Structure formats: C-alpha cells, structure tokens
Amino acid sequence: MAWTAKELDVLRTMWTQPSIPVTEISKRLGRSKGSVIGAAHRHLHVTRTGDAIKGEKAEPEPIAKGMAPIVAPTRRVRHPNIFEARDGQCRWPMWEGGEHIDDKRYCGAPGAGQPCLCEEHHQVSYRGGSR
C-alpha cells in the first residue's frame, strides 16, 4: 500500500524524535514496523535525530589528487538516456547520483571506436595508459 503525503508528514515528525520507538510509530500509523523503517529510509532521507543521512549531500572526494577534472564537451545540447542512445553514440555517463533510470543521460556524441566513446571521452578514459 502506498504512503500518502499525510502519513509521510506524520512519519517525519515522529521519526525525528528518537524518544518515540519504531513500534509506537507503526501502531499509530497502522503499519508494520518494517514498513515504517522502509518508508523512512526511502522517503525521508534523515536519521532518527533529524540529520541528513551521511553522504546524501556530501561532495564526492577526488579519486586522484592533482588530476584535471573531467569535463563533458560543450558542443552537445541534448544527451540521450539509455533508451534513446543508438549504436555509434558515446556512452559516457553524464549523471552524478541516484537519478531514476529515465533521467540518467549519456554523452551522445558520435563514437570514435570501441568501446563506444567520443574522442574527448576516449582520451579522458585512457589517458596515460597503453593497450
């Protein structure tokens, strides 16, 4: 059964008060304990104390220090999603987080070989390495 906006509001106010046990929240909402915990993790993105979940809004750490940032080429306007990408188009991922599968976009520039990457992303992907 889907959660209504009103139920999620009640859950948010009760969830952020650590003095209220999960069993009490589940009784008041008429839901199972597992359902309450699952909804809190899926919809609220906060801990029992009301803080944002660790890593939710944190900036990613660079993998290697001193390297130039990877920047997408600017000549393209529309990036295809997984369902729109065609053979011969660059498949460099253009997303950063947990977007829905329809919202994840790829570069889409004409590919320059195998694996299917455009010239710029192929250079970024294989810089300094030889095959």
| Model confidence pLDDT, tens digit, residues 52-98 | 655 554 344 555 566 666 665 555 456 777 777 778 888 888 777 66
Amino acid, single-letter form, for residue 114: Q
Nearest one of 62, 61, 100, 68 to 83, comparing CA atoms: 100
| Model confidence pLDDT, tens digit, residues 10-48 | 888 888 888 889 999 999 999 999 998 888 888 877 777
Burial class (CB in 10 A: 0-12, 13-18, 19+), 94: middle
pTM greater than 0.85? no
Quick one: pLDDT at residue 54? 57
- Asked whether 103 and 82 are in contact (CB, 8 A), the reply is no
Quick one: pLDDT at residue 30? 92
